[in-house]
A and B are shown apart, each in its own frame.
Chain A
Amino acid sequence: MNTPKKDDYERAIDENLKKVFEQTLEEGIPDRFQDLLSQLKQQDRNQGSAK
């Protein structure tokens, strides 16, 4: 059904999509998220096992 050209495009599209994603993944996580998780943990600890 698909012409070979279209298949090539779809493969290229998926490869590019993954590249776009990987580029962001490689940036790692900004420190704010580590801080946020520590804060949330601390909050829970302060509340004891209230929740």
Chain B
Amino acid sequence: MSNADPRDELIEHLPAMRAFAISLTRNSAVADDMVQDTVVKAWTNIDKFEKGSNMRAWLFTILRNTYYSNRRKARREVSDVDGVFTESLAEKPAHDGHMQMADFRRALGQLKDEQREALLLVGASGFSYEEAAQMCGVAVGTIKSRTNRARAQLAEILGHNENEAMEMTDDATMSVLSASKVASF
């Protein structure tokens, strides 16, 4: 068992890596390229992986480093070509009293990268605050405050959709309508 090649485990983590990458980039083509880069980096640097440690955390760390270095290179690119998060961009969100998935994805797309990332790691990928902090290279408290702020902001965006549709016409709507620009920050 201890002689098993950790690279054989890579494939098990691919779906989760891909889900994280798509959530980060909001573009499945870019996400898949990013996952591919990550797999190659992981494969060729497998000697840097500490056997017995959390491989998913290690892979996610490579993945997010890839994301942030690509983002620096391509700041101007529109990142939501297939509208993963902002389906029907030009339409205002529906207000039928439920938290609709499309609304939710849109709201998620409006968060800052760092907040969305923290929320995805802790709220969706099942990492602890400590693991997420290590992966992002920040203090545990920073991850906690990012996730709290992300949740609060989502609640606010979605709450406005539901209860105060009329007051939503300024900032939130503008950022929905120009989500692709927002997304390139």
Chain A positions within 8 Å of B, measured between CB atoms, are 6, 9-10, 12-14, 16-21, 24-25, 27-30, 32-34, 36-37, 40
Contact = CB atoms under 8 A, between A and B. Distances in A.
A10 B108 contact: no
Contacts of A32: 32, 36
Given A32-B32, A37-B11, A21 B155 contact: no
Contacts of B18: 24, 27, 29
B127 interface: no
B34 interface: no
Contact of A16 (B11, B36, B39, B104): B104
Dominant SS among interface residues on chain A = helix
A36 to B, nearest CB: 6
B35 A33 contact: yes
5 contacts: A13-B158, A17-B119, A21-B120, A33-B35, A40-B40
A6 B15 contact: no
B36 A36 contact: yes
Interface in B85-131: 99, 101, 104-105, 108, 119-120, 123-125
B155 A16 contact: no
A17 B19 contact: no
Nearest to A33: B14
B70 to A, nearest CB: 18
A6 to B, nearest CB: 6
A9 B155 contact: yes
B23 A20 contact: yes
B43 interface: yes
B39 A25 contact: no
B47 to A, nearest CB: 8
